[in-house]
Structure 1
């Protein structure tokens, strides 16, 4: 409540516990191929323990970093889970494509950047196409469609070969850009819609944190699978590693679509304005 927050200090313990939880969970996933099963379990377990401690702290804090009652909103929770998974797949996919182009194909940084430039079509489509689709079909359907498109893009790249022409990669890259334009803006609306005005900032911060956490987890998971599936530095082994790791973004996108499917019965959302949002891509 605002009157309680005004005279209270910063929730330092809550910030420390949630930050520690995120760091340990990401570290546990990223170090999985290099650590023993026991070490990985201990790291992840410590992260989960800190996450539980964070919840306990927030329940007792006079001015909690996150008021847990806000998580009772189904739309907000779905948006955060879908955003986390979508970001994980999106960043993991980009990372693997860059590895493929530079490690296996020997492309320069400039050539790789130009090749990936087509994914930036979301900067054009987000303000032009997405608002019209949301106005006609509603947030839930547009988000669901964007996540399905992301899954399609990753699936199209699964059979990547050692000498694929750029034309064979292009469909995946174009569809990924389209998927981002459809999913990201409407997710920001879904995460804040119905939230009290004084907690709009909190709702937005939760979604942004979910995106960043998901990006870190997606990169870590893709890296872990890639390392584990690569037997040597030979081209054939490198390709095997990329193909195995590409299942990570595909699985993340499908899970995100499954989560968002529960919101398909929600009422159609009215679009208050352009849904283009600042890109979270590094």
Structure 2
């Protein structure tokens, strides 16, 4: 490993604070991350609007989300190699340009097919922004300050699901659906300008040839697998042709990639990183946490709108306490991780999440909403101490040369876990609602109270239906709680060492 010209902190010294240069770099990365993450949740809110605007089905309109996800899955495996080959600054700016161009094209869509196509272009840019941002920030801060920069990076990741519904509801209600895409243009231009000024000039010294065979196996394999998983909610079952065929082909390609990668000197995704025990447990923790977190993120907005009759904008505002809780604990968790390691922090955060999530397993159609707000705030406190400290656990032991590949690997795991979790929770909720004879064409679509009243359905029948629906939601939240409890197992093995000790371990492994 090449020696750095910057002084290395003593293993017994407290990690230095973030200097102005690192904070500037973090600010640029956050602008790009906010743009890409908000876009996901904003578009999710707009799907019913697309159904009406383009006279299409809900299932087809949902492909505006699925197509974006598949584009992410295709490009993420290439990001590590491309960063080494062309430099992180150039690639980050290219990703921003692709994302902005895709956004402008989306705003011009004339039918659902064109919108899906333009969303794929957007996804090609968006898929590179997060792993590149993590790489740039980690390399700028060094291993002893990874916890703090990861805490900064976590702000858009946790606030996106909260701010997206609020922003999307406002833009659609007061302007038009076109603006959920056009708003990315000024943000993207600002991010592009700042990146050109703030980021250090690239000086890539590529020593690795491109793994063309790995690309042919990994990218389509991951995309096909996630396509199959994403098709589960629409098909309503796992044993459907649309699920099994792409899912199995994807798994076969991924298995072929694993065989290939372990026998290739410079594979597209470096699976030898799993020799690092700390990274392995961090990956497992992130996988189960992403399944639980992104799966559960579907439930509350749907419950608030379909059972409690809240508007999209009101539902987004009611979810805000979760983000407030995360904002309080995330900076503290980042500082503590840099001092004592992530193990104790992540375990504490998961236990706190379990406490808040347990409330929702008992929710009913008449539960006071302020009770749910308190539970959300508690969950937010736990999430602020969980997501980014887990990322930190993976990144702290990597050498400078391994950071780009490591961040790529973690983003692949995050994307895979979120897709599996979303599909699992969607199917569980749909199945439970169907048993109550309440399922409609949309996932969790129960009959809204105002519609039932217009149809002159007796109040006691309405209340019974809402009670049955809330029971289905409560049982589905129980599945999410179980996933968080499972996450405690790999989290127990996360490192409880100071980051400099972990960095020394990573350097030793590199040699």
**The two structures share one fold, judged by TM-score above 0.5:** yes
2:208 matched to 1:6?
yes
Q: Does the C-alpha gap of structure 1 residues 262 and 51 become closer, same or farther in structure 2, counting only changes over 3 Å?
A: same
Q: Does the C-alpha gap of structure 1 residues 14 and 156 become closer, same or farther in structure 2, counting only changes over 3 Å?
A: same
2:446 matched to 1:244?
no
Mapped to 2, the partners of 1:271 and 1:156 lie a distance apart of 39
- Bigger relative CO (Cα 8 Å, ≥ 6 apart): 1
Question: How far does the alpha carbon of each residue in 1:211-233 deviate from its partner, in whole angstroms, 9 at most, with x for none?
Answer: 22211111111100001111222
Q: What TM-score, normalized by structure 2, do the two folds share?
A: 0.48
Question: 1:246 Cα deviation (Å)?
Answer: 0.9
Question: 1:139 Cα deviation (Å)?
Answer: 0.9
Question: 1:161 Cα deviation (Å)?
Answer: 0.8
Question: How far does the alpha carbon of each residue in 1:155-187 deviate from its partner, in whole angstroms, 9 at most, with x for none?
Answer: 121000101112210232112211121012211
2:392 matched to 1:194?
no
Mapped to 1, the partners of 2:238 and 2:289 lie a distance apart of 27
Question: 1:72 Cα deviation (Å)?
Answer: 1.2
Q: Which residue of 2 aligns with 1:280?
A: none
Mapped to 2, the partners of 1:156 and 1:4 lie a distance apart of 52
Q: Which has the larger radius of gyration?
A: 2
Q: Which residue of 1 aligns with 2:273?
A: 70
2:474 matched to 1:270?
no
Gaps of 5+ in 2: 1-80, 85-204, 439-464, 502-511
Match of 2:330 among 112, 126, 146: 126
Give the number of equivalent residue pairs.
269
Q: 1:29·1:217 contact (CA, 8 Å) conserved in 2?
A: no
RMSD over aligned CA atoms reads 2.8
Mapped to 1, the partners of 2:423 and 2:370 lie a distance apart of 29
Alignment of 1:188-267 (within 5 A): 188-230=391-433, 231-233=436-438, 234-263=465-494, 266-267=495-496
Q: Does the C-alpha gap of structure 1 residues 267 and 222 become closer, same or farther in structure 2, counting only changes over 3 Å?
A: closer
Question: 1:116 Cα deviation (Å)?
Answer: 0.6
Mapped to 1, the partners of 2:493 and 2:330 lie a distance apart of 24
Gaps of 5+ in 1: 273-282
Q: Does the C-alpha gap of structure 1 residues 111 and 267 become closer, same or farther in structure 2, counting only changes over 3 Å?
A: closer
Q: What TM-score, normalized by structure 1, do the two folds share?
A: 0.84
Structure 1 counterpart SS, 2:297: helix
Q: 1:232·1:238 contact (CA, 8 Å) conserved in 2?
A: no
